Structures are given as structure tokens and as C-alpha cells.
């Protein structure tokens, strides 16, 4: 009866939904990476760590200060933006004139130090974080049972991604960002404070990672390694979408999450490698990425 | 000097990394003057304009804009003193439409062109407003590069090789544009290779060679010394 490829529809739909949830996190994280790389020329390896710190910030707010999920959703991105601003001011600022490699090395160092600190504080076992009561239920869609929180995660991150895309591609502030991505020196010669733009952009990218961390906390185990686990996939997503492409980051994040979900049903053995197979194919046939511009 | 001073450069040395490019440049520009900076390729004219904007690796000496010392200022603060820079490569942004390019530079002070004024001076830009910036023709891109710095209220314009590579009819249009800017009281430094174009517009001419000012001439001396200038330009 209701089977596709010999798989019951509820199972398939459930896995695709999980894929969509993962894809939402991939999209938010690769979006931040793309914006940061575009303007600052920094390959921000610590992006996953910032996502982990966002999830822990929500956990700490709840368990140490009794602050609930909805407040965390507002507070954590602000706190993480401040963390990002501090990192940019204290460290990244000094290496812009050097090769990409130095930014990568610096952010790897930051990632490892922070992971060490969190492992020391929280152990590597992991914490669980409850979904808010209002989203703890499920909705019967007929062909599947949808946990409300998963639906919310997908809507919230798609909304955030769309708002970010709109901000960058359709507003005056975004025009500054696009122009400075192309030619920062000329933009600065027009009287725009480009160094400040770099700081705020990094802060914004980190805020996105922090927000993804809060959204993820109720659907995953919050562990010090959750960032490292996801960042490699996110880098693959960025390469597939095209380094620096805003739309590419969003679309390929969602698409690859779905593909992973589908692979889990059809051929589970390949589910953790399928993203990298796609990356290899894209690099072979369209090296600039699906949405990137060939130089 | 009759007019108030807009720019005074004293003993300017500029560097790109280890390369020492400008070797003690002195130059003055009065308010409302049009000054041409001539020289052969590689003489250091672009470097001089970049130095004024703080876009070179390192610079020493004094650069006083409108009475303010700028040698230690970051580029965006120098621009805010009322400078408009039109770079040699035009730097039209490919990710911005024609109109977004035009609207990009923030208005720094009052008294600049309105968008309508810019379209009045360059009607082509109005027709191409929705096109991607880099899809415009060379002449249109040049007009866009000039037009967008007129909106900001900048009073001192640094124009690098605006006639380069353009058809004669467009060069004539740019000539009329510079004249009308001069009539409106703009102060202009015009970097050129095109002696005819520059000589027709400038109140004074500096000739650069090897990172130094080699000659400084008034417009009324140009005819008599045309041979000398042409030799510097290697024509
Ligand atoms: N970015 C740079 N790095 C090193 N040297 C440069 C750079 N730009 C220009 N130069 C050198 O500076 C000198 C002056 O160049 P430039 O100012 O562009 O001359 P002009 O505009 O008069 O043709 C040239 O010898 C050129 O090779
Ligand atoms: Mg030049």
C-alpha cells in the first residue's frame, strides 16, 4: 500500500524530516561561513565551535540561571555576537594582510582551545536540553507523525536564512557588504568604515552559529564535540554551494541534509559519506561550486 | 595665493611594502582649481592619488586637506573630509546594479549632486539604471564612476585617467563635464596621459617623473613649454 521503493511512507517521510532538520543547521552554519569568507577572507574553522558554544550557552542559562528556551533564543545570539566581535578585534584583525592559511590556522587553534575548555568543564558525555513545553507535542500529518519541535526548527532556520539573504541582496546595508566583498579599499575610500564592517559581519556570522546552536540543543546531545562533528560536513556544503555564495550556501545546506536523510533510508551504509561523494563530483565537474562564479 | 588652500602636500614619501615609490613630493592645490598631473606610465601619479586617500602601504610627510593633517588618518576618515576618489580601474561593482553603484557612496556632507543632477549630467545612466554595473560600456562605466562621487558632497575630486581608452565623442562629453564641475566650484586633480585633454582644462600642470615632481607650470606657460612636457610624456 503506502510504500515508495518498498519503504513505508511514514519511515521515508520521517527520515526526510530529520534530513531537513539537519539541512537547516547546515544552511545556517554555511551561510555564516560564506558571509565571513566573502568579506573577511577568513576560513572560519571555529564556526562549529561557536555553534557548540551557542548550545552550551542555552544549557547554562537554563541550568544555572533558570532562563528558558525562548529567552535563550534571543539572548544567546547577542552573547555569541559579542564573543565573535571580541575574537575579531583581538585576533583576526591582525592577520588580514596575510595568506588565508593563517586565518584557518588561527581559528583551528581557537576551536581546539575552546573544545578543551568545554570538555574540561562539562566532560565529553553530553547534556540534554528539553524542548520548550509548547513545542513538546506532535502533529499527525496523516502520512507521518511530526514532532512539533522539528517543524519549528525548520521554519525558524528557513526564516532566518531568508531574512539574511534579503538583508544582503536587497538592502542598502547589503549593498555595502556586497561592494566591500568585491573591493573593500574602494568602499573605504567612499567614507565607509570598513574595519567596523568586518567586525560586525564576523559578529553577525557568529550570532547565526549561536542561534543554530540554541535551535539544535533540544534535538541533539549537547556535547563539546558537536561542533567538530558538524563543521566538516558544513565545509563540504560550502564547497558544493560555491565559496562565498549566499544563495548557494542556503540551498545546498538544505539539499544535502535531505540527501543524507534519503540515503539513510535507501542505503544507510553511505549516509555519512554521501555529502563528500557529492563534493568530489562537484569539484570535478564544476570546481567553483553549483552557485559559484567561475573566475 | 588668491584662493584658499584645499590641499597641501609636503615631502611625501610613499611605499608599497619595501618598494619606495614617491620620493619627497610637494604639491599645492587651491580651492576651485583644476590641476593636472601628467607623466609617463609608472611615473607615480596613481600612487600620489592613492597616497592622498591613504590607500598605499605606508606614507610619510604631510598631507593637509582643508587645514586638517591626514597623514595618520584611516582612509574612511580622510574621505569624510570631502574627498571623492575615482580610481584608474573605475572599480564599478559587478554585484551591484548601475543605480546601486551610484547610490553606494554615503552622502558625507551637504551641497552634493542629487541623483537627478547626476542623471541630468549623464542621461545614459538613467537608461541603464537597472543593468548590472559591469555590463555598462566603458564610457558609461566612467560616467558612473564620476557620477557616484558627485552625490557625496565631496569638494575635492581625484580623477585618475578618466579619458583613457574612451572614444573621442565620450572624451568630449567628459571635457564638458569637468568644465561644468569647475564652474560649480569643485576642486579637481586630473591625472592624465592625454596632454590635449588635460591642457584644455587645467589651471596648472604638474609633471611627474620617477616618483618626483619634475615640473610645475601655469596654464599660460603651457604653449611655450609644450615641447618640454611632451618630452616628459615620451610622445
Ligand atoms: N601595488 C604596487 N606594488 C608595488 N609597486 C607598485 C604598485 N603599484 C604601482 N607600483 C609601482 O609604482 C610605480 C608608480 O606607479 P603608478 O603610481 O601606478 O604610476 P602612474 O599612475 O603614473 O602610471 C611604478 O613603478 C609601479 O610599478
Ligand atoms: Mg596610473
Residue B218 clears pLDDT 90, i.e. is over it: yes
Output the residue whose Cα is nearest ligand 1's atom 7: B16
Question: Mind listing the pLDDT tens digit for each residue in A239-288?
Answer: 999 987 899 999 999 999 999 999 999 899 998 899 999 999 999 999 99
Pocket test of ligand 1: the residue of B12, B15, B16 to mutate, having most ligand atoms within 8 Å of its CB, is B16
Cβ distance A279 to A25 under 8 Å?
Answer: no
Question: Mind listing the pLDDT tens digit for each residue in B179-208?
Answer: 999 999 999 999 999 999 999 999 999 999
Contact list, B79 vs chain A (CB under 8 Å): 188-191
Band (A295; pLDDT cuts 50, 70, 90): low
Residue A48 in grid coordinates: 562549529
A191/B106 CB distance under 8 A:
yes
B92-127 b/e with 16+ CB inside 10 Å = b?
A: bbebbbbbbbbbbbbebeeebbeeeebbebbebbee
Least CB-CB distance to A179: which of B55, B79, B96?
B96
Give the per-residue pLDDT at A142. 85
Question: Mind listing the pLDDT tens digit for each residue in A195-242?
Answer: 999 999 999 999 999 999 999 999 999 999 999 989 999 999 999 999
CA of residue B32 to ligand 2 center, whole Å: 23
Contact list, B75 vs chain A (CB under 8 Å): 185, 188-189, 194
Quote the CA–CA distance of B157 and A124 in Å, as a whole number. Answer: 61
pTM of the model: 0.91
Question: Mind listing the pLDDT tens digit for each residue in B118-137?
Answer: 999 999 999 999 999 999 99
In the numeric block, the cell 551504509 is attached to A269
Residue A3 clears pLDDT 90, i.e. is over it: no
Residue A222 in grid coordinates: 549537547
Contact list, A182 vs chain B (CB under 8 Å): 93-95
Cβ distance A241 to A292 under 8 Å?
Answer: yes
B80/A191 CB distance under 8 A:
yes
B104/A194 CB distance under 8 A:
no
A190/B79 CB distance under 8 A:
yes
B55/A185 CB distance under 8 A:
yes
Contact list, A187 vs chain B (CB under 8 Å): 104
DSSP tally for chain A: helices H, then strands E: 11, 4
Q: Which helix (H) or strand (E) holds A180?
A: helix A172-182
Give the per-residue pLDDT at A135. 94
Instruction: Report the relative pairing of strands B187-192 and B156-160 from DSSP bridges.
Output: parallel
Residue A152 in grid coordinates: 519549528
Quote the CA–CA distance of A165 and B190 in Å, as a whole number. Answer: 40
Question: Mind listing the pLDDT tens digit for each residue in A46-75?
Answer: 999 999 999 999 999 999 999 999 999 999
Quote the CA–CA distance of B208 and B24 in Å, as a whole number. Answer: 12
Residue B95: CB within 6 Å of ligand 1? no
Give the per-residue pLDDT at A294. 66
CA of residue B33 to ligand 1 center, whole Å: 26
What domains appear along chain B, each with residue ranges and CATH number? 1-82+156-165+188-235 (3.40.50.300)
Instruction: Report the relative pairing of strands A3-4 and A7-8 from DSSP bridges.
Output: antiparallel
Quote the CA–CA distance of B78 and B29 in Å, as a whole number. Answer: 17
Question: Mind listing the pLDDT tens digit for each residue in B34-83?
Answer: 999 999 999 999 999 999 999 999 999 999 999 999 999 999 999 999 99
Output the residue whose Cα is nearest ligand 1's atom 16: B44
Backbone angles phi, psi at B149, to 5 degrees: -90, -10
Residue A5 clears pLDDT 80, i.e. is over it: no
Quote the CA–CA distance of B85 and B142 in Å, as a whole number. Answer: 12
Band (B87; pLDDT cuts 50, 70, 90): very high
Closest Cα in chain B, distance from residue A250 (Å): 18
CA of residue B23 to ligand 1 center, whole Å: 13
Quote the CA–CA distance of A103 and B224 in Å, as a whole number. Answer: 58
- Measured between alpha carbons, how far is residue B78 from residues A194, B154, B222, B227 in Å? 13, 11, 32, 37
Nearest-CA neighbor of A113 among A54, A26, A49, A164? A49
Q: Which atom of ligand 1 is nearest to the CA of B45?
A: 22
Quote the CA–CA distance of B217 and B208 in Å, as a whole number. Answer: 12
Q: What is the CA radius of gyration of chain B?
A: 17
B104/A176 CB distance under 8 A:
yes
Output the residue whose Cα is nearest ligand 1's atom 4: B16
A191/B96 CB distance under 8 A:
no
Residue B2 clears pLDDT 80, i.e. is over it: no
Residue B43: CB within 6 Å of ligand 1? yes
Residue B234 clears pLDDT 90, i.e. is over it: no
Give the per-residue pLDDT at A36. 94
Residue B202: CB within 6 Å of ligand 1? no
Residue B157 in grid coordinates: 575630486
Nearest-CA neighbor of B43 among B68, B66, B25? B25
Give the per-residue pLDDT at A97. 86
Half-sphere exposure of B220 (CA within 13 A, CB side): 0
Average pLDDT (B75-96) is 96
Quote the CA–CA distance of A223 and A128 in Å, as a whole number. Answer: 9
Give the per-residue pLDDT at B169. 94
Alpha carbon A286 to chain centroid, angstroms = 23
Cβ distance B25 to B194 under 8 Å?
Answer: no
* DSSP assignments along A100-165, one per residue: HHHHHHHHHHHHHHHHHHHHHHH-SS-B--PPPGGGSSEEE-SSSEEEHHHHHHHHHHHHHHHHHH
Residue A228 in grid coordinates: 567538530
Mean pLDDT of chain A: 93
Amino acid at each position: 500500500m503506502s510504500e515508495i521503493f518498498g519503504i513505508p511512507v511514514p519511515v521515508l517521510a520521517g527520515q526526510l524530516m530529520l534530513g531537513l532538520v539537519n539541512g537547516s543547521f547546515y544552511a545556517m552554519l554555511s551561510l555564516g561561513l560564506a558571509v565571513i569568507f566573502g568579506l573577511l577572507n577568513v576560513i572560519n574553522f571555529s564556526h562549529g565551535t561557536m555553534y557548540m558554544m551557542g548550545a552550551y550557552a542555552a544549557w547554562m542559562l537554563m541550568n544555572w540561571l533558570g532562563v528558558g528556551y525562548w529567552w535563550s533564543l534571543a539572548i544567546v545570539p547577542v552573547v555569541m555576537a559579542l564573543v565573535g566581535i571580541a575574537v575579531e578585534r583581538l585576533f583576526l584583525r591582525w592577520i588580514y594582510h596575510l595568506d588565508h592559511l593563517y586565518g584557518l590556522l588561527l581559528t583551528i587553534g581557537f576551536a581546539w582551545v575552546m573544545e578543551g575548555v568545554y570538555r574540561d568543564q562539562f566532560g565529553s558525555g553530553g547534556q540534554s536540553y528539553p524542548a520548550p513545553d509548547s513545542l513538546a507535542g506532535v502533529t499527525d500529518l496523516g502520512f507521518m507523525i511530526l514532532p512539533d519541535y522539528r517543524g519549528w526548527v525548520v521554519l525558524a532556520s528557513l526564516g532566518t536564512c531568508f531574512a539574511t539573504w534579503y538583508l544582503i541582496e536587497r538592502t542598502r546595508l547589503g549593498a555595502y557588504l556586497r561592494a566591500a566583498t568585491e573591493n573593500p579599499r574602494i568602499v573605504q575610500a567612499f567614507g565607509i568604515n570598513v574595519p567596523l564592517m568586518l567586525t560586525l559581519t564576523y559578529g553577525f556570522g557568529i550570532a547565526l552559529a549561536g542561534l543554530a546552536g540554541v535551535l539544535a540543543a533540544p534535538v541533539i546531545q549537547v556535547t563539546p564535540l558537536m561542533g567538530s562533528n558538524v563543521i566538516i560536513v558544513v565545509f563540504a556544503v560550502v564547497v558544493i554551494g560555491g565559496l562565498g555564495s549566499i544563495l548557494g550556501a542556503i540551498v545546498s545546506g538544505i539539499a544535502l541534509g535531505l540527501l543524507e536523510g534519503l540515503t539513510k533510508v535507501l542505503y544507510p551504509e553511505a549516509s555519512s559519506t554521501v555529502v563528500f561523494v557529492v563534493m568530489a563530483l562537484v569539484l570535478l565537474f564544476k570546481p567553483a561550486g553549483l552557485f559559484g562564479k567561475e573566475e | 595665493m588668491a584662493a584658499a588652500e584645499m590641499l597641501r602636500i609636503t615631502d611625501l614619501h610613499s611605499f608599497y611594502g619595501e618598494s619606495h615609490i614617491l620620493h619627497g613630493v610637494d604639491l599645492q592645490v587651491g580651492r576651485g582649481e583644476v590641476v593636472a598631473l601628467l607623466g609617463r606610465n609608472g611615473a607615480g601619479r596613481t600612487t600620489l592619488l592613492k597616497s592622498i586617500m591613504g590607500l598605499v602601504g605606508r606614507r610619510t610627510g604631510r598631507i593637509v586637506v582643508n587645514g586638517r593633517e591626514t597623514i595618520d588618518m584611516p582612509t574612511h576618515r580622510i574621505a569624510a573630509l570631502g574627498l571623492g576618489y575615482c580610481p584608474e580601474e573605475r572599480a564599478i561593482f559587478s554585484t551591484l546594479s548601475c543605480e546601486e553603484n551610484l547610490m553606494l557612496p554615503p552622502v558625507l556632507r551637504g551641497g552634493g549632486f542629487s541623483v537627478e543632477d547626476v542623471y541630468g549630467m549623464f542621461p545614459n545612466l538613467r537608461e541603464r539604471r537597472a543593468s548590472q554595473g559591469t555590463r555598462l560600456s566603458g564610457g558609461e562605466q566612467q560616467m558612473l564612476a564620476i557620477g557616484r562621487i558627485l552625490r557625496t558632497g565631496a569638494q575635492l575630486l581625484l580623477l585618475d585617467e578618466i579619458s583613457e581608452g574612451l572614444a573621442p565623442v565620450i572624451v568630449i562629453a567628459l571635457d564638458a563635464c569637468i568644465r561644468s564641475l569647475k564652474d560649480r566650484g569643485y576642486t579637481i586633480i586630473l591625472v592624465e596621459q592625454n596632454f590635449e585633454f588635460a591642457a584644455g582644462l587645467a589651471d596648472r600642470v604638474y609633471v611627474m617623473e620617477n616618483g618626483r615632481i619634475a615640473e610645475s607650470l601655469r596654464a599660460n606657460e603651457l604653449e611655450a613649454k609644450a615641447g618640454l612636457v611632451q618630452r616628459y610624456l615620451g610622445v
